[in-house]
Amino acid sequence: MNPLSVGVVGCGYWGPNLVRNFRSLPHTRVGALCDLNESRLQHMRQLYPEVAGVTDYNSLLQETGVEAVVVAAPVRFHHPLAKAALEAGKHVMIEKPMAASVGECEELVDLARRRGLVLMVGHTFLYSAAVRKIAEIIRSGDIGDIRYINARRLNLGLFQKDINVAWDLAPHDISIILHLLQQYPSVINCQGNAHVTPGIEDVTNMSLSFGQERFATIQSSWLEPRKVREMTIVGTKGMIVYDDLQAQQAIRVYDVRVDRPPHYDTFGDFQYSYHYGDSHIPYLRQEEPLKIECQHFVDCIRSGDTPVTDGHQGLELVRILEASSRSLQANGAPVRLDRPGASGDALPGDAHGSSVSTLSAVAAVSLSPSA
């Protein structure tokens, strides 16, 4: 089997991690790197002298022989870089968020479909053992029906110049929430403030309303003294706390719930029932989610399968981000999600490869000794 040649565009914060992981995959090689910063390219050449480095993107597309392109540049460049790669006949993987607007995402999805090329988005947390385990617990019914999800993703920086903190940090939590609930939200509310850079919010609070009286809240900030990566999932029978900073004990499941009496005759008879049971920490096999994601991209190119996090997933997430921006501009007013079909639709399963079972299968294959 000839190795698949991958080109990585953008060698700043995240690009080197992509290069490292693609180089570690069997039957895959990093054929070229591209960055406008010559000093960054020089640094990467010292680490990987066998990999060509170019500052001209057209040279990467036309002269290096790469078959796939991974875009890790600032968001404002996602659409033009991905579009040029697709038009050149290259498979494309784009870091989150997929593009700067719904219109740009729709163009990329349509172009990839017409050219018969793989288009994948880097929603990396969906490939993590912790999120897969949480989805498994929810699917088993152990914590009952989901009531709400609360997420906090906070740290000091990294400040972005072209997107606010909601577009930078919330995509991680939105992708996880959509995957766990298997449903699109119907209404978005978002409030925030720009304290450092005028016009670019560095603190936001977002609320996503779903059907069945379920909702999720997402707090994002670049202005926190501590790094926080927490999510709480509250069900009718139990609760889950997910702390991504605790590698060995990322998930704790609580047998805790609150029940209200089925009926009562007087106010004095009304008593909430508080149930306090045990908690446990499920075992998680340690494997870098980014490596699983990169392997999945390569596997989909070879097999022709639709990626778990395909262009449609990226499009719908950007649709939510656009709605959050409109809500921000309206001082937190509710914005009904503008998407085809009825609001609160269930996520597609086999049609777009987004079902929980599909993701579990990806993980099983990627984690096998032969991978």
pLDDT tens, residue by residue, 128-180: 999 999 999 999 999 999 999 999 999 999 999 899 999 999 999 999 999 99
The tokens describing 229, both together, are 């990566």
Judged by average pLDDT, the poorest of 225-239, 252-266, 347-361 is 347-361
CA gap 332, 314 in Å, rounded: 24
Residue 228 · residue 153 · CB < 8 Å: yes
pLDDT confidence of 353, banded at 50, 70, 90?
Answer: very low
Q: Where are the domains of the chain?
A: 4-124+289-366, 126-280
More confident residue, 33 or 346: 33
Specify the fold of 4-124+289-366.
Rossmann fold (3.40.50)
Which pLDDT score is estimated for 238?
95
Residue 116 falls in which region: left (phi positive, over 0), alpha (psi -120 to 50) or beta? left
pLDDT at 352 over 80: no
Which pLDDT score is estimated for 159?
93
Query: Radius of gyration over alpha carbons of the chain, in Å?
Result: 22
pLDDT confidence of 276, banded at 50, 70, 90?
Answer: confident
What single-letter DSSP state applies at residue 194? -
The CATH architecture annotation of domain 126-280 reads 2-Layer Sandwich (3.30)
Q: What's the mean per-residue pLDDT of the chain?
A: 91
Residue 11 · residue 41 · CB < 8 Å: yes
**HSE-up of 126 (CA within 13 Å, CB side)?**
35
Which pLDDT score is estimated for 14?
95
Rounded to two decimals, what is the model's pTM?
0.90
pLDDT tens, residue by residue, 194-215: 999 999 999 999 999 998 999 9
CA gap 149, 145 in Å, rounded: 12
| 253, burial (CB in 10 Å: exposed 0-12, middle 13-18, buried 19+) | buried
Task: For residues 218-242, give the mean pLDDT.
Answer: 97
pLDDT at 342 over 60: no
Helices (H), 27-97: 38-47, 57-63, 78-87
CA gap 153, 227 in Å, rounded: 8
**HSE-up of 37 (CA within 13 Å, CB side)?**
11
Strand, coil or helix: 347:
coil
pLDDT confidence of 322, banded at 50, 70, 90?
Answer: very high
By percentage, how much of the chain surpasses pLDDT 70?
87
CA gap 98, 268 in Å, rounded: 55
Which pLDDT score is estimated for 104?
98
